[in-house]
Amino acid sequence: MIAFFKLVVYTPLYNGLIFLIGALPWLDIGMAVILFTCLVKLILFPLSQKATVTQIKMKQYEPELKAIKEKYKNDKQAQARETLKFYKDKNLNPFSSFLTIFIQIPIIFSLYYIFYGGGLPAVDSSLLYSFVKVPAIAINMHFLGFLDMAAKSLPLAVLAGLTQYFQVVYSMPKLAPREENASMSEDLARSMNMQMRYFMPILVTFIAYGISGAIALYWTTSNLFSIGQELYIRKRIAQNEAK
């Protein structure tokens, strides 16, 4: 499992960072993390775009979903069955936004090993692909000249938590009041919504601070990119609907 993780996630990320630093030697490691994060987010754009479109459609279909709940309010099994059927007919996955968040976990682990596990500033040439060369100059580990990316950074950790909160609040459906006699699936969805909305940002802050400034910078950049991406997709959908 560790070998698979190293082959599929860690080594490609490591090579990507070293390649950027070698190609753009004026970059410090913080700038390289920002640029690399944006490239990763662009690669994952099709997946995150699908999640965003799903959330927008779910908001549009709220009247139909409420009608199903009202129609089968005395039969929770039938309500759950019809709701799932509605999702299937409309090609919707209500949990797709969670995938785009949790897919970052292997990236976080990789960055941890790169910055905290000794992958930088010394370059492990044994991990490099044939077309990636060791940078000719020493890697600058200080973002903007004063933030050590291998050390803990409370300001960046707090910023990561705050941007995570706004990213989740903006991307997920509005939390509706809990209805009486709510079904188990509804309670589960509500519980996951609340955890992602309130617990996740706190968890991100503690993790980002406990590892390194590089992790906090990655998370902050990723969240800001996601917010901008959300705005872009929503604008495109609105323009298409207006035609």
Taking only the tens place, the pLDDT of each residue in 100-111 is 667 777 887 788
pLDDT band at 139 (very low <50, low <70, confident <90, very high): confident
Which residues face 143 on adjacent strands?
147
Amino acid at 225: F
Query: How many CA atoms within 13 Å lie on the side-chain side of 48?
Result: 26
167 close to 227: Cβ distance less than 8 angstroms:
yes
What's the pLDDT tens digit per position in 178-214? 555 555 455 555 556 666 677 888 888 988 888 888 8
Neighbours of 190 (CB within 10 A): 16
What's the pLDDT tens digit per position in 49-94? 777 777 777 777 878 877 887 777 777 777 778 888 888 887 777 7
At which residue do the structure tokens 């993390």 appear?
Answer: 33
Q: Please give the DSSP secondary-structure letter assigned to residue 40.
A: H
- Name, in order, each residue with C-beta under 8 angstroms of 3's C-beta and a sequence gap of 6 or more: none
pTM for this structure? 0.75
Residue 168 has pLDDT above 70, yes or no: yes
pLDDT band at 220 (very low <50, low <70, confident <90, very high): very high
57 close to 89: Cβ distance less than 8 angstroms:
no
Please tell me the predicted confidence (pLDDT) of residue 47. 75
pLDDT band at 112 (very low <50, low <70, confident <90, very high): confident
Residue range 140-145: mean pLDDT, rounded: 83
Please tell me the predicted confidence (pLDDT) of residue 163. 93
**Domain boundaries in the chain?**
1-44+103-144
